[in-house]
């Protein structure tokens, strides 16, 4: 029983990671910034998309449909033909429910009405397909990566992110610099072109100007002991255990301000924006590098504390914000540039 519990815990964590990775950037493209209280609705949209794909496969492929029917504990008085008909109705209606959910994810003030609202509901068909494709694709990539790392006896870590508008190249530069400053020299190489397909498809459905936000080429930073794959919604790290630990520490301490969010909810990202402005103001200060000359910025930083103390977000996101806030205060107090040192200078 203990082994089964541990197995389900691992599967649950992996599923949660895939869902977070898929929804972070995809939802930003499709729906914009999503408030904390609508994150559950967003998750239901994703799960509805997966269920729709299952129903479609069950209809198109009779063998899959038969397997699903035999797997369901149906009472004897329910005819399987009725269940098949219900699957057909579900496959037709569920994307409309997904589209309707997407309509309510958007804030009331910017929510379309009339014909535009109807168009948004109809977009549920491509949205359901693309969200399901993205989740399944990332799950397959994750399994392949996990198997490869197990065979090579490599450690791995993941850091969820949401790239800023047009910030992918900046993020690659910042990440490479952070690893170099931590003593990890890495080179760039293009990632497999197929990895960019889901993002491009999501951007095509999102329409508007967001297509320009999709990087033309995903990049991988690598060395003999470390490999870092940078996606618009995830930093995947693998390599020797010590190198992975150093890379993770470098990202946490040196990428306090970069062209990506480390949280996914609208409220948490608003705090990140305020922290980022303080970091940028520190860089513009003529007294840069001199301790004791950041009193005004420290006051601005501490003015965030009441909001942070009452912020209703997931605890993991709150921890990220709190760590960033302490990191910035520490660097301001010792007079170093934010994110340049792991330990205070002597």
Instruction: Look at 150-154, 254-258, 302-306 and tell me which has the smallest mean pLDDT.
Output: 254-258
* CA 312/CA 85 separation, integer angstroms: 43
Q: Is residue 141 part of a domain?
A: no
Residue 224: per-residue pLDDT: 92
Q: Look at residues 200, 222, 254 and tell me which one is the last residue of a structural domain.
A: 254
The tokens for 116 are 């535009």
In angstroms and rounded to an integer, the radius of gyration of the C-alpha atoms of the chain is 23
Alpha-carbon span 39 to 314, nearest angstrom: 10
Name the residue with higher pLDDT: 44 or 36: 44
**Contact between residue 123 and residue 115 where contact means Cβ atoms under 8 Å apart:** no
More confident residue, 336 or 52: 52
Is residue 66 within 8 A of residue 59, CB to CB? The reply is: no
Looking at residue 7, what is its pLDDT? 41
The percentage of the chain sitting over the pLDDT mark of 70, rounded to a whole number, equals 74
| 149 exposure class (CB count in 10 Å sphere: 0-12, 13-18, 19+) | middle
Q: Per-residue pLDDT for 227 more than 80? A: yes
**DSSP string computed for 123-160:** THHHHHHHHHHHHHHHHHHHHHHHHHHHHTT-EEEEEE
pLDDT band at 88 (very low <50, low <70, confident <90, very high): confident
Q: Taking residues 20-43, what's their average pLDDT?
A: 68
Q: How confident is the model at residue 305 (pLDDT cuts 50, 70, 90)?
A: very high
* CA-based nearest residue to 52, from 136, 113, 168: 136
* Alpha-carbon dihedral angle through residues 278, 284, 287, 290, given to the nearest 10 degrees: 50
pLDDT, position 14: 53
Q: What does the pLDDT read at residue 225? A: 94
Residues 6 and 131 in one domain: yes
Among 63-67, 280-284, 289-293, 303-307, the range with the most confident prediction by mean pLDDT is 303-307
**Domain match, 186 and 306 both:** no
Answer whether residue 238 shows pLDDT above 80: yes
Could you count the other beta carbons within 10 Å of the beta carbon of residue 291?
12
Each as own residue / partner, the long-range contacts of residues 54-62 (CB below 8 Å, 24 or more positions apart, any chain) are 55/87, 55/90, 55/91, 55/94, 56/91, 58/87, 59/84, 59/87, 59/88, 59/91
Q: What is the CATH number of the domain that holds 229?
A: 3.30.310
Residues 128, 186, single domain; the answer is no
Residues 247 and 291 in one domain: no
Whether 158 has a pLDDT exceeding 80, the answer reads yes
> Range with the lowest mean pLDDT among 244-253, 254-263, 289-298?
289-298
pLDDT band, residue 287 (cuts 50/70/90): low
Question: Residues 257-284: what's their mean pLDDT?
Answer: 86
The answer to whether residue 144 is domain-embedded is no
| pLDDT given for residue 213 in this prediction | 59
Q: Which residues contact 189 (CB under 8 A, 6 or more apart)?
A: 219, 220, 222
Inform me whether the pLDDT recorded for 346 exceeds 70. no
Average pLDDT, the chain: 78
pLDDT of residue 290: 54
Across residues 178-201, what is the average pLDDT? 85
Give the model's pLDDT for residue 2.
47
- Boundary-marking domain end, from 235, 254, 273: 254
Domain containing residue 193: 152-254
- Best CA proximity match to 226, nearest among 280, 183, 286: 183
What gap in Å lies between CA 83 and CA 108, rounded to an integer?
Answer: 37
* Lowest-pLDDT choice from 6-15, 120-129, 270-279, 286-295: 6-15
Tell me how far apart the alpha carbons of residues 336 and 339 are, in angstroms, rounded to a whole number: 8
Residue 4 has pLDDT above 50, yes or no: no
Whether 92 and 197 map to the same domain: the answer is no
Q: What is the pLDDT of residue 5?
A: 47
Q: How many domains does the chain have?
A: 3
Let me know whether 312 and 282 are in one domain. yes
Other CB atoms closer than 10 Å to residue 189's CB: what's the count? Answer: 10
If asked whether residues 222 and 111 sit together in one domain, one would say no
In this model, does residue 109 exceed pLDDT 80? no
pLDDT reading at 168 higher than 70? yes
Per-residue pLDDT band at 252 (split at 50, 70, 90): confident
Domain end (from 83, 101, 135): 135
How many CB atoms are located within 10 Å of the residue 309 CB? 9
């Amino acid at each position: 029983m203990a082994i089964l519990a541990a197995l389900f815990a691992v599967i649950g964590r992996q599923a949660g990671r895939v869902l977070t990775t898929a929804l972070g950037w995809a939802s930003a493209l499709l729906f914009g910034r999503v408030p904390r209280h609508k994150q559950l609705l967003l998750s239901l949209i994703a799960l509805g998309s997966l269920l729709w794909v299952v129903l479609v496969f069950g209809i198109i492929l009779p063998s899959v449909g038969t397997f699903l029917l035999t797997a369901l504990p149906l009472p004897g008085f329910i005819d399987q033909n009725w269940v098949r008909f219900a699957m057909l109705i579900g496959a037709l209606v569920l994307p409309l429910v997904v589209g309707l959910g997407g309509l309510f994810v958007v804030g009331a003030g910017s929510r379309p009405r009339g014909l535009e609202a109807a168009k948004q509901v109809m977009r549920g068909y491509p949205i359901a397909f693309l969200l399901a494709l993205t989740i399944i694709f990332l799950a397959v990539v994750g399994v392949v990566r996990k198997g490869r790392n197990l065979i090579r006896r490599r450690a791995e870590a993941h850091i969820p992110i949401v790239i800023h508008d047009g910030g992918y190249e900046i993020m690659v530069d910042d990440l490479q610099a952070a690893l170099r400053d931590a003593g990890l020299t890495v080179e760039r190489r293009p990632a497999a072109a197929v990895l960019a397909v889901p993002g491009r498809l999501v951007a095509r459905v999102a329409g508007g100007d967001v297509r320009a936000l999709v990087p033309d080429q995903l990049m991988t930073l690598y060395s003999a002991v470390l490999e870092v794959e940078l996606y618009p919604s995830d930093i995947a790290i693998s390599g020797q255990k010590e190198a992975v630990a150093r890379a993770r520490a470098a990202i946490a301490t040196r990428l306090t301000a970069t062209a990506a969010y480390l949280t996914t909810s609208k409220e948490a990202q608003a705090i990140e924006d305020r922290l980022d402005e303080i970091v940028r103001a520190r860089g513009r200060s003529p007294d840069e590098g001199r301790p004791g000359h950041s009193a005004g910025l420290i006051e601005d930083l501490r003015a965030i504390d009441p909001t942070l103390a009452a912020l209703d977000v997931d605890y993991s996101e709150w921890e990220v914000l709190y760590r960033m806030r302490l990191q910035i205060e520490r660097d301001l107090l010792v007079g170093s540039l934010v994110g340049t040192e792991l330990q205070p200078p002597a």
